[in-house]
Structure 1
Amino acid sequence: MAKTKEVSVEQRLRALYDLQLIDSRIDEIRSVRGELPLEVSDLEDEVAGLNTRLEKLQDSLATIDTQISDKKNLIEEAKSLIKKYSEQQKNVRNNREFNSLTKEIEFQELEIELAEKHIREFKAQIEQKKEVIDKTKEHTKERESHLKFKKSELDAILSETAKEEEALISKSEEYKKKIEERLVKAYNRIRTNVKNGLAVVPIERGASGGSYFTIPPQVQMEIGSRKKIITDEHSGRILVDELLAQEQREKMEKMFKKL
């Protein structure tokens, strides 16, 4: 009965360390990608924002063109009214009618003057906006070029690692099913709380791998006996003996080469 228990614990330790090796391999692949996915995402957002800005600037140009057209129509209408009132002045019967028409002509002349002023202001706005549009187009082109480069860089890495990563993720899930749920939860918790995601580490030169705190000889013997799951009191990591770790590394390296 004791022998069965010992084998069971050893199997769990081996499965846990195998899982660690798989997840560490996934971590390495993702580390190669680094910040690239985030950089690409940020650049995509930036380019989209610049294109939206360009659209708004182009729309505002169209609006100004419409306003200029409206002012030109107003000028033509005013000129037509001035001509009409000037003709009417030739046939007035008294000074009162003449003065009234004169005021109408003066009003239309002011309307023309004001419209021409607005047209000049609108044209100045167009020049300013065109300058901003040119600069924005230039900046957009530069960011699009940078995005293209970063995406090609990311795509190259993904093409090299995507298949392996997918296979490893599948293996990780497969190995988790071999381990009881409470241990998987403990493993995930430790991985989240420690550096480099190392939840299961071997003893190396009498110390805990990953934290390098010395393990007392008696504890080292207990770990080597593989009769129970022991954690490092300093880091909380699950500890395995060096021989077991070496055996599992060799086994998993063969599996990785096949992926």
Structure 2
Amino acid sequence: MAKKEESSVEAKLRALYDLQLIDSRVDEIRNVRGELPLEVEDLEDDVLGLKTRLDKLKTDLETINYEIGAKKNIIEEAKALIKKYNEQQKNVRNSREFNSISKELEFQELEIQLAEKNIKEFKAQIEQKKEVIADTKEKLAEREAHLKHKKGELDAILAETEKEEKALLEESLKYQDLIEERLVKAYARIRGNVKNGLAVVPIERGASGGSFFTIPPQVQVEIASRKKIITDEHSGRILVDPALADEEQEKMQKLFAKL
């Protein structure tokens, strides 16, 4: 029974270290991609934002041009009324009618002046918006070129690594199935809390891998016996002996070569 328990613990340690090697390989692949996916996403948002801005500016121009047209119509109507009132003024019968028509003429003249002022203001707005449109188009072209370049970089990396990453993630799930749920959760928790996601590490030069804290000789002997799962008291990482680590690394290298 004791021998079976020892074998079971060793099998768990091997499976845990294999899982670590697989997940570390996935981390390496993702590190190669680095910030590229986020850069591409940010650039896509920039491009969409600039296109939306352009659409709004074009709509603003259409609205201003419509307003200019409306003001021109007011001017034409006012001119027609002025002509009409001028004719009427020639046939007035008394000063009251003359004054009334004069007021109407004055009002229509003011309408023309106001409309012409509005048109002038609208034309100034058009020039301003045209400058903003030109600047926005320039920025959009720049962002689109940058986005195309970054997408090309990302696509090239994905083409090289996507297949391997997918296969590795499938292997990761397979190895998780070999380990009891309690240990998988502990592994995931440690992995999330430590540097570089290394939850299972071998002993290197008498210390936990990546650590400077020396492990007592008696503990090293216990780790090498593979009879129980031992964690580093400083980092919380699960520890394996160098011989086991070498064997599993060699095994995993062969697996990675096939993916």
TM-score, normalising length: structure 1? 0.99
Q: What pairs with 1:162-181 in structure 2 (closer than 5 Å)?
A: 162-181=162-181
Report runs of 4+ in structure 1 exceeding 6 Å deviation: none
Structure 1 alignment gaps of length 5 or more: none
Task: Render the CA deviation track for 1:169-226: whole Å, top value 9, x for unaligned.
Answer: 0000010000000000000000000000000000011110022321111000000000
Q: What pairs with 1:1-259 in structure 2 (closer than 5 Å)?
A: 1-259=1-259
Structure 2 alignment gaps of length 5 or more: none
The alignment of Structure 1 onto Structure 2 pairs a total of residues equal to: 259
- How far, CA to CA, are the matches of 2:252 and 2:210 in structure 1? 20
- How far, CA to CA, are the matches of 2:202 and 2:13 in structure 1? 11
Is the 8 Å Cα contact of residues 229 and 238 (structure 1) preserved in structure 2? yes
Partner SS, residue 239 of structure 1: strand
Is the 8 Å Cα contact of residues 18 and 248 (structure 1) preserved in structure 2? yes
Task: Render the CA deviation track for 1:74-125: whole Å, top value 9, x for unaligned.
Answer: 0000000000000111111111111111110111001001100000000000
Identity %: 76
- How far, CA to CA, are the matches of 1:210 and 1:23 in structure 2? 17
- How far, CA to CA, are the matches of 2:84 and 2:75 in structure 1? 14
Paired residue type of 1:99: N
Is the 8 Å Cα contact of residues 198 and 210 (structure 1) preserved in structure 2? no
- How far, CA to CA, are the matches of 1:130 and 1:173 in structure 2? 57
Is the 8 Å Cα contact of residues 203 and 240 (structure 1) preserved in structure 2? yes
1:9 offset after TM fit, Å?
0.4
The 10-residue stretch of structure 1 (187-196 or 92-101) with the greater mean CA deviation from structure 2: 92-101
Is the 8 Å Cα contact of residues 202 and 239 (structure 1) preserved in structure 2? yes
- How far, CA to CA, are the matches of 2:213 and 2:149 in structure 1? 44
- How far, CA to CA, are the matches of 2:246 and 2:124 in structure 1? 76
TM-score, normalising length: structure 2? 0.99
- How far, CA to CA, are the matches of 1:233 and 1:66 in structure 2? 76
Is the 8 Å Cα contact of residues 201 and 238 (structure 1) preserved in structure 2? yes
Partner SS, residue 91 of structure 2: coil
1:17 offset after TM fit, Å?
0.2
